[in-house]
Amino acid sequence: MLPYLEVVKDGELEEETPLIEIPNVVGMSIKEASKILKENKLEAKMEAQEGLDTENTTVKKQTPSAGIAVKSGNNVYLEY
């Protein structure tokens, strides 16, 4: 297999990465949402803001939405 070209030779099986269903973190604190996403092998991303209180700031929106299946390590963008 030539992984950098994603070429598979006859007889070689490509390993499938199991998909993870994105949990719903809307309404949680940023701190709790980040913890839940990390436990599910996902990365929480958001706009950086100096002095942001992650314990008392609530997630208003997430992208991708809850229930979408993605590969391990994918980013989930949080808006607050």
* CATH number of the domain encompassing residue 48: 3.30.10.20
Cite the DSSP H helix spans in 1-80.
Answer: 30-39
d(CA 79, CA 61): 5
How much is the pTM? Answer: 0.77
Domain that holds residue 62: 19-79
Give yes or no for a cis peptide into 64 (omega within 30° of 0).
yes
* Domain total in the chain: 1
Task: State which amino acid sits at residue 24.
Answer: N
Residue 26 located in a structural domain: yes
pLDDT tens column, 6-34 = 555 555 555 677 899 999 999 999 999 99
Residue 42 located in a structural domain: yes
Residue 3 located in a structural domain: no
Residue 29 located in a structural domain: yes
Please give the mean pLDDT across all residues of the chain: 87
